[in-house]
Amino acid sequence: MLYAVDRFLGQAVEGIIVIAPQTSAVAALSGVPAEVPLVAVGCGTRTQLASVAVDNAAGACRATQYLLDLGHQTVHHVGGPGSWLDARERTDGWLQALRSAGAPEPEVLAGDWSSRSGYEIGHQLARMPGVTAVFCANDHMALGLLRALAEGGRRVPEDVSVVGFDDIPEAAFFLPPLTTVRQDFGELGRRALRLLVDRISGHDSAGSRLPVVPELVVRSSATRFRR
């Protein structure tokens, strides 16, 4: 990442938009001179860089609260890699909802964003009879989880409710269709471009730094808990 930024700085560019989802990328960008018009995208909501980001914590909290409101005593979490800022914030939002409800806090089972990792973790969860609700940090891991639960004889949503994050185009065609948190990538792009133009012109737009609030899309992979 640092090498790539140095290459940009050596060219005649008026501004840079960089996708920086990992801690290492944010650290590299932190060394860029302040006068360089640079906007980071996808680097979480807590960085000091000029940036735009989805409010991952709010989305994860909403997803978890939705499952709790369906009567589940707690919600297990298939998290993303710890080096990814999005994954950290989604875990934070999940924990916030559990703590606000006074619900038990299961151990986070971290995957690598892939369907395979969700599948492998899903086999662990399928063997745990107390698991009735799972929030996955992305839809690909949720896809693997759904298959593992089916292979383990756990029905979704009758036995286990599942919610994902991202709302990838395929999510509506999972079996069952996946309840998930939708990110507005179009709005992210518009805010990033607006902030970059403001920085190039010497005006900093604080409003562009407001996180983009994601939307919970309810489908049929989650239902009310029945004892």
Rg (CA), the chain: 19
- Residues 61 and 117 reside in one and the same domain: yes
Name the token pair of 131: 């698991």
* Assessment of whether the complete model's pTM goes beyond 0.85: no
Residue ranges of the chain whose pLDDT lies below 70? 1-15, 17-38, 40, 42-50, 204-210
Asked if 167 and 217 touch (Cβ cutoff 8 Å), the reply is yes
Residue 110 exposed, middle or buried by CB count within 10 Å (0-12, 13-18, 19+): middle
Same domain, 49 and 63: no
Beta carbons of 164 and 79 less than 8 angstroms apart: no
Q: Which two tokens stand for residue 208?
A: 């562009």
Position 125 scores a pLDDT of 98
Same domain, 94 and 136: yes
Per-residue pLDDT tens over the stretch 81-98: 998 889 999 999 999 999
Q: Which domain holds residue 28?
A: 2-54+183-214
Q: Do 145 and 41 belong to one domain?
A: no
d(C-alpha 123, C-alpha 134), whole Å: 13
Task: Identify the CATH number of the domain in which residue 26 sits.
Answer: 3.40.50.2300
What's the pLDDT score for residue 188? Answer: 81
The answer to whether residue 158 is domain-embedded is: yes
Given this model, what pLDDT does residue 35 score? Answer: 65
Number of residues assigned to the chain: 227
Backbone angles phi and psi of 94, in degrees to 5: -60, -50
Pair (152, 91) in one structural domain: yes
Domain identity same for 82 and 166: yes
**In a shared domain, residues 119 and 147:** yes
Q: Answer yes or no: are the C-beta atoms of 50 and 204 closer than 8 Å.
A: yes
Residues 6+ apart with CB under 8 A from 125: 76, 78, 109, 131, 134, 145, 148, 149, 160
Domain identity same for 68 and 178 = yes
